[in-house]
Amino acid sequence: MPNILITGATGFVGGAVVEHLLRQYQGEDINLLLLVRAEDQAAGLARIKDNLEKFDLTVEQLNKISEQSILLGDLSTPEGFIQDARLDSVTHVINSAAIASFGNNPAMWRVNVDGSLAFAKRMANVKGLKRFIHVGTAMASMPDKDSVFYEDMPDNEHNEDLVQYTASKRAIENLIRQECPQLPFVVARPSIIVGHTQFGCRPSSSIFWVFLMALKLKKFTCNLDDKIDVIPVDYCAMVLVNLCLSETISHDFYHISSGEDLCTPFHEIDASVAKANNTTAIVGEYQKVSYAEFAGIRKQFKDILGPCNDKIILRAIKLYGGFAELNVKFDNQRLMDMGMPKPAAFKTYIDKCVSSTKGRSIPELMMVDFK
Question: How far apart, in whole angstroms, are the C-alpha atoms of residue 64 and residue 26?
Answer: 9
Residue 103 has pLDDT above 80, yes or no: no
Domain assignment present for 361: no
Q: What Å distances lie between residue 71 and 49, 63, 65, 84, 278, CA to CA?
A: 14, 17, 12, 8, 47
Amino acid (one-letter) located at 112: N
Q: Name the most confidently modeled range: 35-49, 288-302, 305-319.
A: 35-49
For residue 94, is it within any domain?
A: yes
Judge whether 214 lies within some domain: no
**List of E strands, 240-309:** 253-256, 264-265, 287-288
Q: What is the pTM of this model?
A: 0.96
Q: Which residues contact 138 (CB under 8 A, 6 or more apart)?
A: 149, 189, 190, 191, 192, 229, 255, 256, 257, 330
Give, in order, the Cα–Cα distances in Å from 335 to each of 243, 252, 253. Answer: 9, 12, 10
pLDDT of residue 27: 61
In a domain, 284, yes or no: no
What is the mean predicted confidence (pLDDT) over 269-297? Answer: 94
d(CA 196, CA 236): 10
| Cα–Cα distance, 251 to 189 (Å, whole number) | 13
Range of the domain at 338: 3-203+229-263+329-345
297-353 pLDDT per residue, tens: 999 999 999 898 889 899 889 888 888 889 999 999 999 999 999 999 999 999 999
Dist. CA 66–CA 49, nearest whole Å: 10
What does pLDDT average to over the chain? 94
Contact in structure between 277 and 354 (CB atoms under 8 Å): yes
- Which CATH number do you get for residue 129? 3.40.50.720
Domain count, the chain: 1
Residue 265 β-bridge partners? 227
Residue 304 included in any domain: no
Instruction: State residue 25's pLDDT score.
Output: 83
Which one, of 219, 236, 193, 246, lies nearest residue 353 by Cα? 193
Q: Report the 3 state secondary structure along 333-365.
A: HHHHHCCCCCCCCHHHCHHHHHHHHCCCCHHHH
Q: Is the pLDDT of residue 371 over 80?
A: no
- In a domain, residue 132? The reply is yes
Q: Is residue 29 part of a domain?
A: yes
Residue 306 inside a domain? The answer is no
